[in-house]
Amino acid sequence: MPHDDESPSAKPEPRPEPRPQAQPDHQPGPVPSLDAMLADLEELVTCESYSADHAAVGRSAQVVAAQGRRLLGASPRTLVTEGITHVLWTFGTPRILLLGHHDTVWPTGSLATHPWSVEQGVARGPGVFDMKAGLVQMFHGLASLPSLDGLCVLVTGDEETGSDTSRGLIEDLARRCAATFVLEPSAPGGALKTSRKGVSLYDITVHGRAAHSGLEPEKGVNAATELAHQLLALQGVAEAVTASTGPGTTVTPTVLRAGTTSNTVPARAELSVDVRVPTAAAQEAVDRLVKGLEPQNPAARLQIDGGPNRPPLAADASRKLFALAAEEAVWLGLGPLAQTAVGGASDGNYTAGAGCPTLDGLGAVGDGAHADHEHVLTATMPDRARLLARLVGAVR
């Protein structure tokens, strides 16, 4: 549980319906200053926050808190859970959850090889696209509103590793809100993410028996050979689920390990498996089949750990909010707003799974999340901030 004793109550309140009619705070404020946004973005990017480096994440949380304090006019609560730091603002009774994360996949020291830069309208640096620019856009967009009443802003520190310490908090807040806006980066061309696949993660361990591979290999139970059979069985899992629930399920073996020396029958083999599913039914089917795997060699033993991590974000959870966003984009003169379904997951999967209407991909426009070419198109940042502000005003 969070160290903060004032963690939100788990008792849900009735969820009000979004109100699309114009409200007094629905009018757009001044266009945020790009120079000011870039200064804040530089401060965030140059404070590295690799998920596994809890001290770095803690330092990053301080920068996030300071920027939010300056732009939102209120100090946040800092929640530390299992050494991981999350930052939370609550204004009145929450109706809208704004959700982001400040941890990144980039190991501490990545600034040496991927330095912060802005050249010809392109900002680069570790985590600039996923998703520190989204945080800057959020803060500046909210700062343009005359009132923040009814808003809850949560910036977590462990999204990139599965949100193990923040999931309960995210779901609790979502159950009490009418809408969640996720500031994850957009899809190509600035498209919003209105559907995400669910994620399941498994670790399969084969326990065999070691023996000398030259003198008496027949006395061993080769864990690597058994694991090869399980790889083929996993292909069958994907095919069976597709046949029963429809297309879109992927079962991908990722990391494999086996053996100790070149002249020893491997006594142990390990496999990590990444599963992406389009529906809850597919996720349940995969879980049942993976946990039902049996060794081909009866002398070997299988150990299967893991299971569903994030539920799918179904298109129904985003439909009304996207329609509203499209209207606001036209009103702002931003042109047609696109939407897309993606295979990657985010904390928006959790909020949708908790029953809260969710719109994702409202963050930066650019490309290269987790890759060497990660970048943000800086000219889009003020308009994305204005779009968020209009959405908040429309729903509230």
What phi and psi, each to the nearest 5 degrees, are found at residue 249? -85, 135
Assess contact for 65 and 76: CB atoms under 8 A.
yes
Helices vs. strands in the chain: H and E counts, helices first: 9, 16
Distance of CA 373 to the CA centre of its chain: 20
Task: Decide: helix, strand or coil at residue 46.
Answer: coil
**Rounded CA separation 369/106 (Å):** 10
Q: Which of 42, 48, 103, 171 is catalytic?
A: 103
Q: Which of 42, 130, 159, 171 is catalytic?
A: 159
Catalytic annotation on 159?
yes
Catalytic annotation on 239?
no
**Rounded CA separation 286/241 (Å):** 7
**Rounded CA separation 147/345 (Å):** 31
Helix (H) or strand (E) holding 152: strand 151-156
Assess contact for 49 and 127: CB atoms under 8 A.
yes
**Rounded CA separation 201/252 (Å):** 10
Going by DSSP bridges, is the β-strand pair 96-101/151-156 parallel, antiparallel, or unpaired? parallel
Tell me the β-bridge partners of 363: none
- Which residues, 6 or more positions from 232, have their beta carbon under 8 angstroms from its beta carbon? none
Assess contact for 351 and 182: CB atoms under 8 A.
yes
List, by residue number, the catalytic residues.
Answer: 103, 159
